[in-house]
Amino acid sequence: MKTRLILRVNSLLKMKKIFFILTIFLCLNCHSQIERKNALLVSEHISEGGIAIGNHLVSYNFINGKLISKDTIISSPTDKGVGIGYHFSQNLVYKNRYVITGAGNVIDLNSNSLVMVESDHLVSIKGDSIIFYRDNVLTGTGYLICDLRKHTYKFAKKSFSSIKGYKSPNFKLGLILVKSELPYKIILNTGKSEQLIVKDCGYGTHLSSDASLRPNVPLYWIDNENFIYAKYKFSSLDHVPVEIHCVNVNNFDSKKIATIDSVPPAISNSYFSTDPEGKIIFNCSKAAYILDFINNKARLTNMISRGNGFLVENSTNKDYGSKITFEGNEIGRFWCKQHSSKTTEGFIGVEYGELGSNLGYPKGVKVWNNITQTWITIEINWVSAIVGWVEK
- Delineate the domains of the chain, giving CATH numbers in brackets: 37-119+304-391 (no CATH), 166-301 (2.130.10.150)
Sequence-distant (6+) residues with CB within 8 A of 241 are: 232, 233, 235, 259, 260, 261, 262, 263
Tell which wins on pLDDT, 264 or 15.
Answer: 264
* pLDDT above 50 (res 80): no
pLDDT for the residue 137: 81
pLDDT for the residue 16: 56
CB 241 within 8 A of CB 231: no
pLDDT in tens, 97-114: 999 987 778 999 999 988
Q: How confident is the model at residue 160 (pLDDT cuts 50, 70, 90)?
A: low
Average pLDDT taken over every residue of the chain: 87
pTM of the model: 0.81
pLDDT for the residue 103: 75
Sequence-distant (6+) residues with CB within 8 A of 71 are: 58, 59, 61
Q: How confident is the model at residue 331 (pLDDT cuts 50, 70, 90)?
A: very high
12-21, 135-144, 200-209: range with lowest mean pLDDT = 12-21
CB 184 within 8 A of CB 196: no
pLDDT for the residue 82: 45
pLDDT in tens, 251-273: 999 999 999 999 999 999 999 99
Q: CA angle, 126 as apex, 173 and 225 as ends, to 5°?
A: 30
pLDDT in tens, 279-319: 999 999 999 999 999 999 999 999 999 999 999 998 889 99
Q: How confident is the model at residue 221 (pLDDT cuts 50, 70, 90)?
A: very high
Give the span between the Cα atoms of 242 and 164, in whole angstroms.
27
45-59, 220-234, 257-271, 318-332: range with lowest mean pLDDT = 45-59
Tell me the residue type at 209.
S
Tell which wins on pLDDT, 77 or 190.
Answer: 190
Mean pLDDT in residue range 17-32: 50
CB 189 within 8 A of CB 175: yes
* pLDDT above 60 (res 343): yes
139-148, 181-190, 268-277: range with lowest mean pLDDT = 139-148
Mean pLDDT in residue range 325-342: 94
Tell which wins on pLDDT, 116 or 59.
Answer: 59
Q: How confident is the model at residue 49 (pLDDT cuts 50, 70, 90)?
A: confident
Give the span between the Cα atoms of 132 and 140, in whole angstroms.
13
